[in-house]
């Protein structure tokens, strides 16, 4: 399993209402039920949740795929899915699929951010032919927003991509300069000029995920995903400015790689990851 997919694998089963609420959707209407709000059948089995600012969609972990070397996504024909559910003669499933179709179309046309609840599944015992053969085993809300990159009204094909649309991947040398004061620079010693293309390729390879600890880089005020580029063998120690000597890691791991008691362990780990990388 690709490292980027593995980090998204859910291992617990929080309540749907809590995940939808944490995504920013108003859940007050869930409480208009005779029973418990978190088991309100009008919502808790729904596939999509929509308000005027955010859309939340449920997908199986099996739907996730690597679109390319760095991007995680989902490709689905939502029109075919709706028709398939209609053919099961289960109107409840057909309506859920149709509502998901409308949600995806709205997200695409209005350029709305999408949040994904990722679910793993297990076989349902004693299911009827007109119901789903699966039930949720684990679920989690992906902390990173997604966007709809492709949608065809005619065919129903849709592509969802993890990350903000046109997400910038930036490091400490490319972070936005927010200072309003003029800079005064005086160099009294030699400095290494790092190849910006190498840094950019390393950031794309990481895809916003720390190559040391696997955490997601934080989102900057300009909607970039921030990691720091780090030379495993320092340039000052004749290390190469090349793809097999550079890693994109979070600021905490970067400081540990330079100052931590386990700096040698981190260096060995990063060297192992970079083997055979060109």
Q: CATH assignment of 168-273?
A: 1.10.30
| pLDDT tens digit sequence for 26-63 | 999 999 878 888 888 888 889 999 988 889 999 999 99
Q: Kindly state the tokens that stand for 164.
A: 């903000």
Share of the chain above pLDDT 90, in %: 35
The answer to whether the beta carbons of residues 5 and 72 sit under 8 Å apart is yes
Q: Kindly state the tokens that stand for 30.
A: 């869930």
- How much is the CA Rg of the chain, to the nearest whole Å? 23
Average pLDDT over residues 252-274: 91
Q: Is residue 126 scored above 70 in pLDDT?
A: no
Q: Is residue 134 scored above 70 in pLDDT?
A: yes
Question: Inter-axis angle of helices 91-110 and 78-87, to 10 degrees?
Answer: 170
| pLDDT tens digit sequence for 233-246 | 988 888 888 888 99
- How many CB atoms sit inside 10 A of residue 202's CB? 24
pLDDT of residue 62: 93
| pLDDT tens digit sequence for 63-107 | 999 988 778 999 998 888 777 777 766 678 888 888 999 999 998
Domain limits, the chain: 3-162, 168-273
Q: How far apart are CA 70 and CA 72, in angstroms?
A: 7
| pLDDT tens digit sequence for 169-213 | 777 777 654 444 555 555 555 556 678 888 888 888 887 778 888
pLDDT of residue 17: 95
Residue 208 Cα distances to 4, 21, 241, 247, 260, angstroms: 9, 25, 20, 12, 23
**Which one, of 51, 11, 7, 61, lies nearest residue 27 by Cα?**
51
| pLDDT tens digit sequence for 207-256 | 777 888 877 788 777 667 889 999 999 888 888 888 889 999 999 999 99
Q: What is the DSSP letter of 191?
A: -
The SS3 of residue 73 is strand
pLDDT of residue 217: 82
| Residues facing 75 on adjacent strands | 159
Q: How far apart are CA 220 and CA 254, in angstroms?
A: 18
**Which one, of 255, 206, 197, 246, lies nearest residue 226 by Cα?**
206
Q: Kindly state the tokens that stand for 278.
A: 């060109």
Question: Inter-axis angle of helices 251-259 and 263-273, to 10 degrees?
Answer: 120
């Amino acid at each position: 399993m690709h490292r980027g997919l593995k980090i998204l694998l859910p291992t617990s089963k929080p309540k749907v209402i809590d995940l939808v609420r944490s995504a920013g959707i108003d859940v007050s209407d869930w409480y208009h039920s005779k029973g418990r709000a978190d088991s309100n059948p009008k919502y808790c089995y729904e596939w999509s949740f929509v308000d005027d600012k955010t859309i939340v969609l449920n997908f199986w972990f099996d739907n996730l795929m690597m679109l390319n070397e760095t991007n995680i996504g989902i490709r689905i024909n939502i029109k075919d899915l709706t028709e398939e559910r209609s053919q099961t003669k289960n109107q409840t499933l057909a309506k859920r699929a149709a509502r998901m179709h409308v949600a995806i179309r709205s997200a695409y046309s209005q350029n709305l951010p999408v949040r994904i609840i990722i679910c793993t599944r297990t076989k349902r015992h004693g299911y009827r032919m007109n119901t789903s053969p699966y039930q949720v085993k684990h679920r989690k809300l992906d902390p990173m927003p997604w966007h709809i990159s492709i949608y065809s009204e005619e065919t129903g094909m849709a592509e969802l991509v993890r990350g903000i649309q046109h997400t910038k991947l930036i490091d400490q040398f490319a972070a936005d300069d927010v200072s309003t004061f003029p800079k005064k620079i005086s160099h009294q010693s030699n400095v290494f000029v790092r190849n910006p293309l190498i840094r950019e390729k390393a950031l794309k390879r990481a895809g916003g995920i720390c190559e040391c600890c696997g955490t997601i880089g934080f989102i900057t005020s300009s909607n970039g995903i921030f990691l720091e580029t780090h030379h495993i063998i320092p340039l000052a120690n004749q290390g190469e400015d090349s793809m097999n000597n550079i890693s994109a890691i979070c600021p905490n791991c970067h400081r540990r790689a330079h100052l931590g008691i386990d700096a040698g362990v981190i260096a060995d780990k990063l060297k192992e990851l970079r083997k055979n990388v060109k």
